């Protein structure tokens, strides 16, 4: 059991042992991690200069947003905002989002997919996936560097076994050999495996190349054809924010759909990051499978099961949030707004790479490969990540996220392009202070 959970249990037992007895096994094992949220809370108080912790985007000192979203809020009638939404989600939004999936993934042309079912954000989608598809002890294959909440939701709460592999090879690319070994080893030992693919990746900001993506698909398809049931889950939270030509611009969901009866593709995505409406909590679950030309009844059954899962959990996602997103996506301004914000984030990513190319940083850290998304990571060479994080916060008012002993995550989405040089110079100063 996690030491933080044990500490909380002791506190409860001291105050009221009966309450501890009432907690479930999961309840006893749960804890609030000293991770991104707690570190971000500290930064909110102390990072008066630069705050690169939380996964949102800012511009001109304000939260990044589309004008079409802000204008829509005051124009939504009560029947589209204050009432309960269906557990499946608002029908119009589900269809618009499905159309968007097809438009963004050319490989899906001619392939049937389910109508997306609306979740209360993508984290809720991960949880619903766990409820629907994982029994305690089932294996989920993930890289060693991953969004920490996967372990909380799937490992701790759902009781799945997390099987990890090194994300990067020595040459700074996706470790396809380690991925293949993990998949094939688990397939030999289990009749069902789940593989979670998160690109653009949190925390590193890496997206696989077209070649790497093709190889990932080949491996999963081959394993399915050899008789293992494979659930391929794509967490596409930051989809579309691809900044370099070589990166795969489609979701692996599109590549995997309909390839084998034993291969189920599950797409988790949403408006949260793509449309810069984090707090509206609008995400989706979409399925892709092969069913001998009879996909539609299967999709409808899966949609009903998924909606039933949501009904027994939160009942339904926000009607207001869904209505805002729908009207924004239907606005004639929407395509231009999306291009405008993409350009801002791409420029920041390019500036990060330009700044980090300077040799003065080489002795302090090395940057993990990144080419997309909101984040990038550096691996520290001489100081502890948590000690540096606290030092930067206390002395310089700079907020970052420490991951393990050696890694710092930088949310460049939060940092103006003109402040990026300053940010990394302050990190370097902090390293020098501690060495």
Whether the per-residue pLDDT at 4 is higher than 90: the answer is no
The pLDDT of residue 405: 95
Neighbours of 41 (CB within 10 A): 12
Q: What is the 3-state secondary structure (H, E, C) of 359-426?
A: HHHCCCEEECCCCECCEEEEEECCCCHHHHHHHHHHHHCEECEEECCCEEEEEHHHCCHHHHHHHHHH
Question: What phi, psi does 293 have (nearest 5°)?
Answer: 80, 5
Beta bridge partners of 209: 247
CATH class of 77-330: alpha beta
The model's pLDDT over 274-330, given as tens digits with 9 standing for 90+, comes to 999 988 999 999 999 888 767 888 888 888 888 888 988 888 899 999 999 999 999
How far is Cα 221 from Cα 218, in angstroms, rounded to an integer? 5
How far is Cα 64 from Cα 208, in angstroms, rounded to an integer? 27
The pLDDT of residue 19: 45
Average of per-residue pLDDT across 126-135: 90
The model's pLDDT over 321-349, given as tens digits with 9 standing for 90+, comes to 999 999 999 999 999 999 999 999 999 99
Whether the per-residue pLDDT at 27 is higher than 50: the answer is yes
**13 Cα distance to chain centroid:** 36
What b/e readout covers 332-365, taking b as 16+ CB neighbours within 10 angstroms? eebeebbeebeeebeebbebbeeebeeeebeebb
The pLDDT of residue 33: 55
How far is Cα 146 from Cα 203, in angstroms, rounded to an integer? 6
Residue 117, SS3 per DSSP: strand
Fold topology of 32-64+336-434:
3.90.1150
Band of residue 78 on the pLDDT scale cut at 50, 70, 90: confident
Residue 51, SS3 per DSSP: strand
- Shared fold status for 32-64+336-434 and 77-330: no
Q: What is the 3-state secondary structure (H, E, C) of 149-178?
A: HHHHHHHHHCCCEEEEECCECCCCCECHHH
The pLDDT of residue 31: 63
How far is Cα 181 from Cα 163, in angstroms, rounded to an integer? 11
The model's pLDDT over 176-224, given as tens digits with 9 standing for 90+, comes to 999 999 999 999 999 999 999 999 999 999 999 999 999 999 999 999 9
This prediction's pTM = 0.85
Out of 13-27, 86-100, 392-406, which region has the weakest mean confidence (pLDDT)?
A: 13-27
The pLDDT of residue 124: 95
Neighbours of 28 (CB within 10 A): 16
- Is 299:112 a contact under the CB 8 Å cutoff? yes
Task: Give the pairing of strands 263-270 and 62-63.
Answer: unpaired
The model's pLDDT over 387-405, given as tens digits with 9 standing for 90+, comes to 999 999 999 999 999 999 9
Break the chain into its structural domains and give their ranges: 32-64+336-434, 77-330
How far is Cα 228 from Cα 190, in angstroms, rounded to an integer? 7
Question: What phi, psi does 34 have (nearest 5°)?
Answer: -85, 75
The model's pLDDT over 41-68, given as tens digits with 9 standing for 90+, comes to 677 778 888 888 766 778 887 777 777 7
Band of residue 32 on the pLDDT scale cut at 50, 70, 90: low
Out of 28-42, 117-131, 230-244, 291-305, which region has the weakest mean confidence (pLDDT)?
A: 28-42
């Amino acid at each position: 059991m996690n030491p933080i959970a044990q500490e909380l249990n002791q506190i409860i037992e001291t105050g009221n042992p009966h309450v501890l007895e009432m907690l479930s096994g999961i309840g006893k094992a749960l804890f609030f991690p000293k991770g991104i949220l707690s570190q971000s809370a500290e930064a909110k108080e102390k990072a008066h200069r630069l705050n690169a912790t939380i996964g949102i985007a800012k511009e001109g000192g304000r939260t990044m947003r589309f004008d079409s979203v802000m204008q829509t809020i005051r124009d939504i009638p009560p029947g589209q905002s204050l009432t309960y939404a269906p557990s499946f989600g608002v029908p119009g939004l589900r269809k618009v989002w499905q159309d968007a999936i097809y438009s963004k993934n050319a490989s899906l042309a001619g392939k049937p997919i389910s109508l997306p079912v609306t979740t209360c954000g993508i984290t809720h989608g991960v949880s619903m996936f766990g409820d629907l598809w994982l029994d305690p002890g089932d294996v989920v294959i993930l890289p060693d560097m991953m969004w920490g909440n996967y372990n909380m939701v799937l490992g701790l709460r759902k009781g799945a076994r997390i099987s990890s592999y090194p994300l990067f090879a020595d040459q700074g690319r996706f470790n396809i050999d380690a991925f293949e070994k993990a998949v094939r080893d688990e397939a030999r030992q289990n009749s069902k495996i789940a593989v979670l693919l998160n690109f653009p990746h949190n925390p590193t900001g890496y997206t696989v190349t077209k070649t790497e993506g093709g190889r990932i698909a080949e491996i999963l398809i081959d394993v399915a054809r050899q008789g293992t049931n494979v659930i391929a889950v794509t967490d596409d939270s930051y989809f579309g924010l691809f900044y370099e030509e070589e990166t795969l611009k489609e979701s692996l969901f599109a590549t995997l759909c309909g390839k084998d009866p034993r291969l189920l593709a599950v797409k988790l995505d949403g408006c949260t990051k793509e449309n810069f409406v984090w707090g509206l909590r609008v995400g989706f679950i979409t399925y892709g499978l092969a069913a001998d030309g009879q996909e539609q009844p299967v999709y409808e059954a899966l949609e009903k099961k998924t909606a039933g899962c949501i009904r027994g959990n939160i009942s339904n996602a926000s009607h207001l949030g869904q209505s805002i997103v729908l009207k924004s996506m239907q606005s004639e301004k929407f395509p231009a707004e999306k291009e405008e914000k993409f350009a801002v984030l791409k420029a920041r990513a390019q500036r990060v790479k330009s700044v980090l190319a300077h040799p003065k940083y080489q002795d302090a850290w090395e940057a993990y490969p990144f080419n997309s998304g909101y984040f990038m990571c550096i691996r520290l060479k001489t100081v502890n990540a948590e000690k540096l994080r606290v030092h930067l916060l206390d002395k310089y008012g700079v907020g970052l996220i420490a991951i393990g002993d050696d890694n710092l995550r930088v949310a460049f989405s939060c940092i103006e392009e003109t402040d990026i040089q300053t940010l990394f110079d302050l990190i370097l100063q902090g390293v020098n202070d501690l060495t």
